[in-house]
Amino acid sequence: MARQPVEGSVAEMKQIMEDTPAARSGIKSGDILLQVGRKRVTQPEDVLDASFFITAGDTVPITVMRGNQKLIFSVQATLHPASRSGVLLASPGTPAINQQGIPLSLGSDVPPTP
């Protein structure tokens, strides 16, 4: 988990399921998610906002920090195999995100602001 914000983000990729768009693009566990498309990510919940207008088939730039390197990956969104209604960008994880059809496993040690 990102204990301290990295470029303002505490959204750490915790798990990347094999044979998913994220895995095929090169995103790895431990990467800190900085941006999805044009939307900056500072906490895991931002992924829902960022992915709201993503449609299956869209190619989306995903910006992450890996160590001290900023990397940009092109990820082609697909339908979530379980729901066939949500977009799949990475791997299963937190229930709130899974229910939205965006199965990302992200984490943060920083408590949410009230």
Tens digit of each residue's pLDDT (9 = 90 or more) over 45-101: 898 888 888 888 899 999 999 999 999 999 988 876 655 444 444 333 433 333 333
- The full set of domains in the chain, from first to last, is 12-106 (2.30.42.10)
The predicted model scores a pTM of 0.69
Give the chain's radius of gyration (CA, Å).
Answer: 13
81 is written with which tokens?
């195999």
